[in-house]
Structure formats: structure tokens, C-alpha cells
Structure 1
């Protein structure tokens, strides 16, 4: 069989996988049917199986002759998928969930089917143009100038690492240009409550981390940061970047962005905001004042696969001055010479990557489909649900809030429970298919937390979960 310009080519085993056939088209319909059913939220919460359990239920799948698409799909549908917790389930409240819109999910399929290389303008001009429109919108919402821009990277860890590599490159260039010597060890200053990805970034970059103690309310302030810098033997001269968090993962707290940004500017330090989870809250007018000072950032990240309702995985990394990132990240090789054109925007020049999919397109399509107003309303709704849940907790004698919710994370305790009791309750809740709430900890004590970013995680869904804590 030949079609789609393949006329005259022999149908060999080497080409058969890439040719359309009646069998492959039938399989496509079955795959699309499964996807449609899954997108209709016809998926239970599910729970993981052990390696031994999976091994007994699944035959050897990687074989010389293959199983055929039908059998492989059945194995996934009946065994592999049910062994994965559905992160878009309304009862998924652990870590930071994923709640992609149907529009974003549909277009994620389109992106894969379109085979777009998103690393360069030459190969993906239309995709890059659309991604950049989203990045400019995010930059303007944060308050950065019109020239700001960046890239959609894989996730917050890569986004933070890429921004800090650009920050160090900038600091080294400034030191060299001024004739000052470089420090023996560079340092990154951040809150002691900052995300673990910063420790990873420091290790990869072979620099030191300066974790600054936070105030009783868990917020990194200008005063505490200034004290920590002044306490360094060199007065903080070896610090090249300060990282503030806009929405901590554990409690949803926001650092003193205004004060930290002003101090960073006074000391000529790179000011980066890790807003992977929480910075999307800036889109809500009622929450926007909480982020005052974000406009001072030299760079920031926000993960659309969190509070911007996009499939895994996407991190929007934005720079105030993208040319600094370009100088730090652009790769040079003979076969890449044709791409080295400063007039064109090659996304791979702005983070630690070369090959990349156009992972920003699902967010672009969802925004273009629904409009920014609906996004603001959906984010606001989840924050309102967090407030409603906190009111229920305050009214329940055996529950106590750890902190008043700032964004959409509600942290609380079950009075009198041990870590073992929390774990037992969490496993029982997951097994029942009602919810997924893993215990966390705060200041050495076990706690529970609801991370509410799914608009379907309403009070009607969450109250029954709280009721199970009465036992």
C-alpha cells in the first residue's frame, strides 16, 4: 500500500512502522476513543501497584515481533494506567496537582502529531511566535518591560537552574569588566523555606547556597536577608543572586518581594523569583497586591502545568533582559551556524536545552480559546475554595490550621495524631478512591495540606475528606 507521497517505495519492514495502513488507522481511532473517554474525566483516582504486582499482571511487552497495537493499548488501559494516580482528579490534593483544561489537553495531542521542533525560529517560527505571545503576556502581568522574554522550559527545576546560570554569567562578566577578582566560591541567597530545586541548582553549578532563616510567619524579609548578607565574612560580596519565592509549595507563602527586590537592586544582585506554583495568582486582581515588588525581578518562573491548567510539563521562564540569557546559553557548533542570527528568536538560546518540543503551545491554545478572563476566574475560584476550607477547619474542634492560607494551599493538623496515624489515614483514603492527601511536615511536626488548584476540587468534594478525619 502506498499513499501520502510514498508511491513507488517498497513496503519493507524498515518502512512499515511509518506507513499508514488500515490497521494503523483503526488503531488511531481506538487511541482517540480512549483519549476522549479519559478527557471526559471517566477515570477513577486509582493507586500505584508494587513492581512485583505489576510483573505478575503484565506479560513481557518488549519483544522481537511486538504485541500489536491493540494488545499494547489494552495493557496500558487495563493495568498500567490504573496503576498511576490521576493528578487531575478533584480529590488529588497532594504535592501540586495538575488540572489541564480540555482545550490544553487536546492541543497537546496536536503538538505531538504536528512534529514541530520548537528549538529554533527556522524550524518552528509559527509555534515560537505563539509561545512568545504568551510569555509577553505573563511578563506584562508581572510588570516587566516590553523587551522581556524567555522560553518554555521543561519544569521549574530547569527554569530555576537556567535563570541562575544566566545570573552567574552576568555577575562574572561585570566583575571581569570592572577589573575585580572573582570569588573563590559563588553563592546564591534564598529562604530556608525555598524549593529543593535550588539546592539541586547549586550542586549542579558547583556554588554554595546561603539559606536565610525566615520570620515566624515563614516569610523571607529584606531585614533577614540583609542581616545574612552582612554576616558573611566578605559582607556578601560572593553572592551573585537572590531568590525569592512567590508561593512556597508546602504552605503557599510569598516572600517580601518588594523589600528583597529593592535590596538586590541596591547591591547589584540578580533578583530571581521562583513562582512555579504561586505566581499565577498575580492574575487575580484581589491577589495581585500580594506580589508587589515582582516587577523588580531580573527573571522569574511560573509553571503552567500547575495553576495555569496545562498538561505536564511546562515552565515559563522570563528574563527582564533576554540578551543576558542569550550570552549565557546559546550553543555554537558548525552544524548550528545557520541558526546563529541575532534577529531571530531561537528558544534554545535561553535555557539549558537544545532539542525541545513546543511545550508552550497547549497553554497558548487554551488561552486563545477561553480568554484570560476565564483564567483569572478559575484561579480566583480555587483561592476562594481554600478560604472556605479553612473556615470549616476553624470550626472543627479536632482540626487546627497551621497558617492562614495566602493562596490556595491549606495546611492543617489533626489534633493528637502521630505521623503513623497520618500515614495510615492517607493510605486508607487513597485505597477508598476518595482522595490523595499525603502527610507533610512543618518545623519538624507532621501536618496535612490541601493543594487546591483544580476548579473541580470544590468544598463539596473536600468536606467529605475532612469528615474522615473525625474517626
Structure 2
């Protein structure tokens, strides 16, 4: 059978798809926010082997609607209050369509000059609107996890004058890294992959706001130095995953400067709030920071994946990752940036295009309005929750994340954990709202985080009514 050229039908099919996309976004509330399927249910509807001959696009798209769509959790749903948002605004979606069509592999300047130069400019725009100082050099990573790994590798190489990429770690001694007890699990994973050993990650105690205690950090560093260890990297968190804790950068940075330790800041979610001047207090002490990451794909209206990674010392980053075989050499040489040398992957998508669309379509004022709106949603909900005697807010809530639990009184801690676990399942099974859980000081609690561009005040109000209804029904059982 001859190879089929789909270009003849592409225009007609693309129009149908775009119409479906527009309808989907307009009617997204009609879907259950969390997929109401059981494990294996989708796979059971899929053939066990690929077709021998090609199928009609109409049939493929029909199966997408009938088989795939019912198994999707709808991250753009206005009732999606789980994890953190993964924004996909219309301008960003349109840019992704163009990116997919161009299908460029943007590993170097020569393979797509516009992609490289646009990325450089967009990362500088982001730097300016978030208040990061001159001297930070940015690149786009796929996720903050990749940025974290890159930071560890840079810290490792700087400590050993760029020799361990060649010699390995067998003769270097025991490296130690430091982060708060609230740090994201990507820190543990990054340390493992970097060869530093997750057993060498020191989890530093936190205060009543769940922020790292600087004095405890310095004590841990001195103890490790006395034991002959090599303090390598400190991770400070702005907006921890569980409770939105914000570590104090200035005292942490002063300690890192004193001991010559690389300081990486993980602001994956909360960093987007830096577009608001009133939240720039979070980066007081930024002059001590070696690397910084936040994800526009979480809360800044930009399609996943798009993680903004900044380093102060560009040379350290490039020396850590640069490998130049003959087939990658180009005549431009050092005249241009080749972003393949700014991280782990060689291949790179054209992620800067969607940033360009978003920043131009919304402008700084539009982005600020989006962030302020969701912070206001959270603060208003917190005030309402505080008025109810049978609900507890269990952690500070400076941004748009609220941690709470239902406590009707008279129950043991274990019984309260079971009650709130059941409450979470009942809420999520409703199809109207999707929350996740965490543990705060050993207690099972629910997380409510707002961020979808399609969420309005009525959705927050409806969510609060649903939470109360499900909770109080359980207490009567």
C-alpha cells in the first residue's frame, strides 16, 4: 500500500478540530473535572495491536471523543483546585498549534535562529516583570525538576573546578545538600540523578510558618564541615507544594555566601506572583542566589511545558553541559547562544513562542489581574472558612493555596484523618470539584488551590457550598 499524504485533507480536518477545541473551552464545565473511570477501563477499549492499514481521520477522532475524552481529567476546568494549576490560555493554545506545525528542533541557533533569539528576549522580559535583577541569564526548561537537576550539576562542577564531569565522584568525598523539610520531592530526585546521593540531603527544620530556620541550616553546614563533608548546594523554596511555605532568602543567602555554597531557589508555582510588586518581598536577598526557577506553565497562563530557569553565572552553566562533537559545530561559534548547552537535553522544543503570545496578548497588567484575582479568591474563602467552627485552616495562606480540614469535634486524630480522607473522595467523586491532600504536622488535610483562567467567583462559592455539604453529610453518618 502506498504512503498516504494527509496534506490533502489537512485543512478540512484542522477546521473541524479547531471548532471542537473552541466548543470544548466554551463548555468545559459540562465535563466532570476528575475522570470517573476505573484502572484499566480505557485500555480495555483499545486494540491490543496497531492496525495493519491506515484508518480514516474521522474514525480516529470519533474514538478520541468516545474512548479517550471520558478518561481525561480536565485541568482547565474551573473546578480544578488540585495540585497546582497548569494554565492553557487561548493565546498559548494558538501558539502551540503553530509550534506543532513548524515542528522545529531548536537545539542551536542555526537550527532555528528565531527560536533562540526569541527565547533570549522572552526570558529577559520575564526577568524584568518579576523583579529579578540584571545579571541573571535565562533559558526555558521543560519543568522545574530539570532546572533543579541542572542547578545541582552546576553546583557540583563549580565546587570541583569542572573536573567531576570527567573523573566522576568516586574520589571527591561526601557531598551534602540542604533544603527545608517542606521541599519538593524533585530535590530528592535531582540529588539522586546528580550522583550526590539523596541520603546526603539534610532536611532543615521549619518554623511556625513552615519556612526554613536559617540558624538550623548553618548548624547543619558546620556539623558537616566538621565531619569532613563537602556542602554543595542549598535549595530555598518560595511556595512549597504542601502549604505554600516561603523560605527567607536573605539570611539563607548570607549563610551560603559565607560558606561558598550554591543557592538555588525553587519558586515553581509562587514565582508567578512576583509579577505583583507587592509580592517582591519574597525575593529579598536575591543578590545571593545562584540559580532561580519558576514555571509560567503553572500560574502564568502559558501552556505546559515552560519552566523559566535563571543562573547568575552563565559560564558555569555552559561549562557544566557543553559537549561539542563535530556534527554539532556551526560557523557562528561563540557569536550566538546554543541552548543545547544550557541543560540536560540536546533536543529542544520551540517553547518561547507561546510565552511571546501570552506576554503580548495579556500584557503585564493582564497577568497581574489574573494572579491578584486568584489570591483574592483564596483569601475570601479563608475568611468564610474561619467563620465556621467545624473547619480548621492548618497553615498560613499568603497566596492562592488553602490547607484545611473538617473537624466536627469529639474525634481522635486517626478518626479525623479517616473522615477527611473520605471527604476528599466524596468531593472528587462529585465531578464538580477536584482537590488533593497532604499532611501538615502529621494531620491529613485537604488542599484547595485556585488558578484556572476560567474560574470565577461563582465557582469558588459553589465549591465552598459543596465542601460544606459533603462534610456535614459525613458527620451525620
TM over 0.5: yes
CA shift at 1:141, angstroms?
A: 4.5
What is the aligned counterpart of 1:185 among 163, 167, 174? 174
CA RMSD of aligned residues (A): 2.3
> How far 1:173 moved relative to its partner?
0.7
Per the alignment, residue 394 of structure 2 pairs with 402
Give the superposition deviation at 1:446: 0.3
Q: Which residue of 2 aligns with 1:201?
A: 190
The equivalent position to 2:421 in structure 1, one of 415, 420, 423, is 423
Aligned position for 1:9: none
Q: Distance in 2 between matches of 1:344 and 1:147?
A: 18
The Cα offsets for residues 135-194 of structure 1, whole Å up to 9 and x where unpaired, read as 112333455443422311111111111122112111111899xxxx97412121111110
- Kept in 1, the 8 Å contact 2:209–2:396? The answer is no
Measure, in 2, the Cα distance between the counterparts of 1:143 and 1:129. Answer: 22
3-state SS, counterpart of residue 215 of structure 1: coil
Separation in structure 1 between the aligned mates of residue 455 and residue 307 of structure 2, nearest angstrom? 23
Indicate how the Cα distance of structure 1 residues 79 and 410 shifts in structure 2: closer, same or farther if over 3 A, else same.
same
**SS of alignment partner, residue 330 of structure 2:** helix
CA distance in 1 between counterparts of 2:266 and 2:110 reads 31
Q: Is the 8 A contact 2:385 2:393 kept in 1?
A: yes
- Residue pair 2:89, 2:453 contacting (<8 A) in 1 also: no
> Residues 278 and 106 (structure 1 numbering): CA distance in 2 closer, same or farther, change over 3 Å?
same
Give the superposition deviation at 1:113: 0.9
1:247 is matched with 239
Residue 265 (structure 1) shift: 1.3
Q: For residues 61 and 391 of structure 1, do their structure 2 counterparts lie closer, same or farther at Cα, with a shift above 3 Å needed? A: farther
CA shift for structure 1 position 448: 0.6
| Whole-angstrom distance in 2 between the partners of 1:349 and 1:340 | 15
Judge conservation of contact 2:110–2:330 (CA < 8 Å) in 1: no
Contact 2:238 2:282 in 1 (8 A): no
Find the aligned partners of 2:249 and 2:228 in 1 and give their Cα distance: 19
User: CA shift at 1:83, angstroms?
Assistant: 0.8
TM-score by length of 1: 0.90
Aligned pairs for 1:13-52 within 5 A: 13-14=2-3, 16-17=4-5, 19-21=6-8, 23-42=9-28, 44=31, 45-52=33-40
Q: Which runs of 5+ in 1 are unaligned?
A: 1-11
Residues 185/339 of structure 1: CA separation in 2 closer, same or farther (3 Å cut): farther
Counterpart CA distance in 2 for 1:259 and 1:24 is 58
Moved more, 32-41 or 203-212: 32-41
- 2: distance between equivalents of 1:354 and 1:303? 21
SS at match of 1:220: coil
**TM-score, structure 2 normalization:** 0.89
The alignment partner of 1:173 has SS state of coil
Deviations 1:242-295 (A, max 9, x none): 110011011111101111111111221111100111111111122222331234
Aligned residue number for residue 232 of structure 1: 224
Aligned length: 453
How far residue 58 of structure 1 moved from its aligned partner, in angstroms, is 4.1
